[in-house]
Amino acid sequence: MKDWNPEYQKEVLFFLADKVAESGKYVLLLLDEIDYLLLEALESPSDFSRIRGAATEKSCNLKFWVAGTSTWSSICTTIGSPELNCGLENVSLPPLTKDDFEEMWKQECSLFDDEEQRGKFLSIGETIYRHTGGIPYYAKFVGSHMINNGTIEIPDYQIIRDYLAEIVNNRFTSDVERSVLFLLSSGEKTFEDTIPDGVSGLLSKGLIKVDGNVYSIGIGYLLDYLTARKQDTSVSDDAIDIEKKERDSLVDEIARLRDCANNSYATNKPFIATTKDTSYFNVMKKPCLDEGALTAFATSVCILYYEGSETGKRLPSDFYTHEFCYMIRALRNKYDHSDHSYEARQMDDDKLFLIVNDGIVPFTLEHYKSIQSKVLNYFRDELLLMIERAPQKKKNIKKSNQVSVPSCSKNLENGKYYEGVVVEVNNQYGTFLNVKCNLYPYPLQVKSKRGEIFENDKVSFKAVSEPNWADPNKLFWKADDVHRTE
C-alpha cells in the first residue's frame, strides 16, 4: 500500500476487496490501539462511522478486528454515539495463566547462549509473573531492561510507570473503574451478593482477577503504583501533568511558528498546510514510551517538516541540507522505513543517536521520552532560525526582542546560576516572558520554571546552551530552572 500515492490508496484497497469478493472471500483489517486512534485522529461519530459502514454494507468485502484496551461499545458511548455499536462481538484476551507464562518464559530463556545466565533468569520466572501479572509485553520489557543493565535484580514498578499512568488515567477508563482499582489496592475483596459497578469492565480489560467471589489486582506493578499514588509517595501525578503541559505547549508553539514561517516567506511558503496537520500535531503531543510511539512521533515530525515542504524542495536557502532535516529523516527511516528516498548522505545510526540520545540506542522509557523532548526543541529552534532569516522579516523588531540568540556569549557559563529580571517580549511569533540578565545582550527564553513568574519579577536561573543547527560554532542560550528570589 505504501508504494501507492495516498490519493489512490483507498481506491486500491477497495479494488482489492472487490477482487477478493469475487472468490467469496473478504479482506480482514486489524486496527490496533483503537483507543489512541480515536483520541488522536477520530474524535466524532462521523469520523469513525465509516468503519461500521464498511463492515455492515451489503457486499461485506471488508471485515475488521478492532483491538485495544477498551471495548468498542464503551468507545462508542464515550465518543457520544452508542448507536454505532452495531452488535459487534467482543473477545477478551486475559493475561496468560501461570502455566502458559512459565512456558513462554522458558522459551525466552532458551535463547541465552550462556548457561549460567539462562539458569538465573529461569529461577526468577515466578517472581516476574507476580510483578507483571502474566502480561507478555511487560515481562519481555522487564527482561530486556535487566539484560541491557547487566543485572538479575528485578526493577521496581517505576520502569513501566508511564504505562501504568496511561491505564489509570485513560479516557476510556471510567471514574467508577478507577474507584474499584483503588479499593482493591488495599487488598483483595469478597463481593457476595452485589458486585460493584466497574468490576466487569476491569475484568474484561484484564486489570483485575477473580477466584470464586474474591477479587484482586493481578498485576503486581499496578498494585505498587496504585499504593504509591494513594500514599502520595514516590510517584507524582503533578510531575506527569507538568511534563504533559510542557510538551503540549511546545507542540503548540511549533504549530504557530510553522504558520509564522509561511507568513514570513509570503511569496514562497515553505510548508503546504493540509487538513491532516492537526492530527499529526496531536500525535506529537502523545508521550513516547516505546519504539512504536517513537515511530508515530518521528513520522509526524517528518511529514510536517520534510514531506510538508514537498520533500524539502520548498525549504528556504540551505535548510534542506541542515542537520535537522537529515536527522528527522534518518530517525523516521530508522523505525518506519517508509521514506523510499533514503540516501547514503543521511546520518548513520552512530551520528543519529549521538544527537538524540547521547550515543545510546534507545531501550528504556526515559530514552524515548528524552528523544521526543530533544527533537521537539530542535524543531522549534529550526523554525525560529528560518523566521530569523526570512527576507520579509519586519525591520522594526528590535534585536533585544529576539527569542533565539544568534551567537555564543562569553559572559555566560553553561550550568551556572545567574540573577535576572523577567521581561515581556513581543515579536512576530508571539508574546513571551523571558529573562533579562545584565551579563547578556538579549532576553533569554525560559526553558523551565519553578512556580509562577510575572513581568518585573527578580529571578534566579541556570544558563543552558543548546546547539544551533545552522552554525555549530554558535549556540542558543536559554534560562532553565527559573524561580523568584523575592
For 155-214, what is each residue's pLDDT tens digit?
888 888 878 887 787 666 777 888 888 889 888 888 777 777 788 888 877 888 888 888
35-49, 53-67, 86-100, 290-304 — most confident range: 290-304
Domain borders along the chain are 6-84, 98-155, 163-231, 237-388, 399-484
Exposure string over 206-242, b if 16+ CB within 10 A, otherwise e: bbbbeeeeebebbbbbbbbbbbbbeeeeebeeeebee
Residue 227 to residues 19, 198, 415, 419: CA-CA distances in angstroms?
55, 19, 37, 41
Q: Output the CATH code of domain 399-484.
A: 2.40.50.140
76 vs 172: CA distance, rounded Å: 10
Q: What angle do CA 269, 271, 275 make, to 5 degrees?
A: 125
Q: What angle do CA 19, 21, 27 make, to 5 degrees?
A: 90
Nearest to 73 by CA among 27, 34, 42, 28: 34
What was the pLDDT predicted at 235? 47
| Residue 80 region by backbone torsions, left for phi larger than 0, else alpha for psi between -120 and 50, else beta | left
What was the pLDDT predicted at 251? 92
Place of cell 538479575: 152
Residue 406 to residues 68, 156, 200, 428, 444: CA-CA distances in angstroms?
47, 45, 59, 17, 12
- The one-letter code for the residue type at 122 is L
What was the pLDDT predicted at 365? 73
For 114-136, what is each residue's pLDDT tens digit?
999 999 999 999 999 999 999 88
251 vs 130: CA distance, rounded Å: 39
- The one-letter code for the residue type at 22 is E
For 324-364, what is each residue's pLDDT tens digit?
999 999 998 876 544 444 443 467 888 888 888 888 888 77
209 vs 189: CA distance, rounded Å: 11
What was the pLDDT predicted at 105? 94
